[in-house]
Structure 1
C-alpha cells in the first residue's frame, strides 16, 4: 500500500507527521514532456489548498502546480533550478517540489489513494 495521496490536478504528496512532500505525478510529467524550468515558491510562503504554488515549464507547455493541502513552505527542492529534468527522471523521488508544514490534517482525507488516482488517469486516456 502506497503512502502517497493524489489530486485530480496530478500532484502527489507524502505525509510524514505534519510535514508533507509535494510533487507532480509521473502521469503529469509524461503529459508535459521534457521539463526545462521549475519555478518554486519561497520558503515561509503560506499556500492554500487548490491554489497555485509553483510553475513547471516543458518543451510543450507551462503548467501551474497547485497546493494539494494548505500550509507553509518549509523547504524547496533547489536542485530543480539547475536540473529541472529530474522531474522527468524521478517524479516521485528526487523530483519533489516543496515540503509544507500541514495547516489542516483533515485535508488529507479528501485526496485520492493510488487506486482512485489510477482510475482517474485511465479515464483521461
Structure 2
C-alpha cells in the first residue's frame, strides 16, 4: 500500500496536499480498499466555506455510502471534474487523478494536527 510522505492524513482516511494557500484533498488508498469499487462521488460544496471536520461530500461504493470530511478549514474552489464520468479513478489512482476537491485554506497551520505518513500507517496497522 502506498503512503506518500509529502501528504498529511486524517483518522477519517482523507489525505491533503498543501501548496501555498491551496490544498488538494482525496481519500487514502486504504480507504478506497476498504470501500471497494467506487461507483459515484457526490460533492456539491463548491464555493462553500467549511470548518475543519465538516462534511464536504460523499462517496458511494457498491455496498456503502461514506461521508467525506474536510481535514482543514477552507473554501471549496473546485471539484475534480473527471470523477463525474470516472468515479473509479478514486480506486485506480487515489493520490493522483482520483483527487476530490481543491480548497483555499482559511487558517494556514490547521494541518499541524494531521498525521504524517508514518503516523497514518501506525493508525491503520499497516
TM-score bracket for the superposition, by shorter chain length: over 0.9
Q: Give 5+ residue unaligned stretches, structure 2.
A: none
Runs of 4+ in 1 over 6 A off after TM superposition: none
Aligned positions, number: 123
- 1:57-105 alpha-carbon deviations (Å, 9 max, x no partner): 0001000000000100111101101100000000011000000000011
Instruction: Tell me if structure 1 keeps the 8 A contact 2:52–2:70.
Output: yes
TM-score by length of 1: 0.95
Q: CA RMSD in A?
A: 1.2
Query: Using the alignment, how far apart are the partners of 1:12 and 1:48 within structure 2?
Result: 16
Write out aligned runs for 1:43-54 (5 A).
43-54=46-57
**Residue 13 in structure 1 maps to residue 16 in structure 2:** yes
Name the structure where helix makes up a greater proportion of residues: 1
Report which stretch shifted further, 53-62 or 42-51: 42-51
**Post-superposition shift, 1:40?**
1.2
For residue 71 of structure 2, the aligned residue among 44, 56, 68 is 68
Contact 1:41 1:73 in 2 (8 A): no
Contact 1:47 1:70 in 2 (8 A): yes
After TM superposition, the structure 1 = structure 2 runs for residues 13-32 of structure 1, keeping only pairs within 5 Å, are 13-32=16-35
- Secondary structure in 2 aligned to 1:82? coil
- State the distance in 2 between where 1:37 and 1:75 align: 17
